[in-house]
Structure 1
Amino acid sequence: MADQDVVVQSDKLIDIERVIAGKNPRLLRVIPKFLIRYLKRVIHQDTLNEALHRHRNEIGLEFVTAILDEFKVKVVVKGEENLLSADRFVAVSNHPLGGLDGMALMLAIGKVREDFVVPSNDFLMHLPNMRSLFIPVNKHGSNADNIGQFNDAFSSEKAILYFPAGLCSRKIKGNIIDLDWKKTFLSKAKKYNRNILPVHISGRNSNFFYNLANLRKWLGLKANIEMLYLVDEMFRQSDKEIVITFGKPIPTATFDRRMNDNAWASLIREHVYKLEANPDAPFIFESL
């Protein structure tokens, strides 16, 4: 769920002007008012604040359920027997939406076991209602305390929900697919003897989102400006269905020295997309 950096709260309310002022007061003074109003509309500031206020007393999975209900999202689970048979796992999934997909996965796993945590970047930790579900991951530098919490989570008995791409899916050669998966989840799983539970999540964002991402890349811009629209994309998912498909757990002993962790991570990523058609698809590979 790392893409939701734009949703930053202050005093439990989303305030785009306060966010900008906190990061760069001079910038706030020069930004035209019409642009501020536009940003507020894009992130649905008023609507989100109303929803957060309504559910201010709900914490953890209760809050997740309430938000999914707000958007009238139906979560359908396939391969639940694979989830039930998994022991001490890291659930790794594609990240098609960048917001509600993460909540849908929390809900699906939370119905079976509530002892799970989700690695999150610093910004998402500002959502107080969900803070208990997260462990911090600082993308912009090292932090000894965060690293300690991260390792402690992997060494614990809790389930871990992980999006190895770090960003939501993009449109690549006409297909909605994750960017390359980072190997961290696998390296840690091997170190702490955790099985891999592969998960596929259905869904896609709008063509506008993908076209903007590709245009930004074509222009050579490094800032992921398309992320500004992720909240708007979230609202586009209203009244839709998200299908969570759990594949068969893969024993950590599978990932031996035949390949390095980057290669294994890439193969797991490919395997996840096969689950949409067959939750019981075997993890088949050829050594590189």
Structure 2
Amino acid sequence: MDAIFDRVVREFFPNTTIPFWKKWLFRTAFGNKVFSRLIYNERLVNKNGVEWVNAVVELLELKCESEYHQFNNIPEHGATVVISNHPTVIDGLSLIHTVSRVRSDIKIIANHVLPIIFPQVSELTIGIENMAGKMSHKKFREMNDHLRKGGVLIICPAGKLANWSLSGLQEHKWNPGFLQLAMRNNAALVPIHITGENSKIYYLTATFWRQLSNMMVIREALRHYGKTMKSI
């Protein structure tokens, strides 16, 4: 587990020497023991891709509810771009689980660190280093290739988690690149809105120290145990 944590730190802080106290704090937030219990759970061993995601949803007893028409909106075949807001750390799980009820040819745009932490989702992930910034030509080509083959591409155009404010969750500005992807490949565009939120301590940490909140993702995901995620 230390090897994974160390690699995550290197990815988030390339060519940077991290002070001992800060690394200790990041390690505590990351939760190696919690991560180990999750990754080596017997219900997840030898599973990958959609099968692994669905097993995690079952393990966490997440209730991913969708309105009936949502399934009708997802074509059974052909290039499809699914776009969604991004309120919680488990939106990706919820979206893949929901879409997999109709399709199996799924790719999701996510932070490039995700398959480092969870190699089980490598086959599902197109990893982006700067989620809120400009995509590399290589990654854009990978997305286009998947759509040309008639696959489903899941995107949270905000590129990062919503911020908490006194008036509620605030989405970051959406990157309009998903429209170009859909039009270029004559893909169906399916909007999904997820209702849910992270813990207040997570949003508070993200407000004052985004780097630390990035390390809290696994602990935060487990806080959603037994919760309901609604897609409308």
TM-score (norm 2): 0.82
Map of 1:16 onto structure 2? 5
1:124-174 deviation digits (Å, cap 9, x = unpaired): 232321111112334277655433212212322001111000001112451
2:199 matches 1:206:
yes
Matches within 5 A, 1:29-44: 30-32=19-21, 35-44=22-31
Gaps of 5+ in 1: 1-9, 217-222, 246-288
- For residues 173 and 187 of structure 1, do their structure 2 counterparts lie closer, same or farther at Cα, with a shift above 3 Å needed? farther
* Partner of residue 102 from structure 1, selected from 92, 103, 108: 92
Residues 26 and 200 of structure 1: is their aligned pair in 2 closer, same or farther, counting only changes over 3 Å?
closer
Structure 2, unaligned stretches of length 5 or more?
none
Structure-2 change in CA distance of 1:36 and 1:137 (3 Å): closer
SS at match of 1:157: coil
Q: Is the 8 A contact 1:93 1:163 kept in 2?
A: yes
Local SS of the residue matching 1:27: coil
Q: Does 1:116 align with 2:102?
A: no
Q: Deviations over 1:105-126 (max 9, x none)?
A: 1011101110111122322232
Answer yes or no: is the 8 Å Cα contact 1:95–1:169 preserved in 2: yes
Amino acid at match of 1:163: C
Q: Per-residue deviation at 1:81? A: 4.2
Question: Residue 129 in 1 paired to residue 116 in 2?
Answer: no
Is residue 160 of structure 1 aligned with residue 123 of structure 2? no
- In the alignment, is the contact (CA less than 8 A) between 2:71 and 2:102 conserved in 1? no
Aligned length: 224
- Residue of structure 2 equivalent to 1:249: none
Q: Which residue of 175, 181, 189 maps to 2:182?
A: 189
TM-score w.r.t. length of structure 1: 0.68
Identity %: 21
CA gap of 1:169–1:57, structure 2 versus 1, over 3 A, is same
Residue 148 to residue 52, structure 1, CA distance change in 2 (3 Å)? same
Contact residue 83 and residue 197 of structure 1 kept, 8 A: yes
Q: Which has the larger radius of gyration?
A: 1
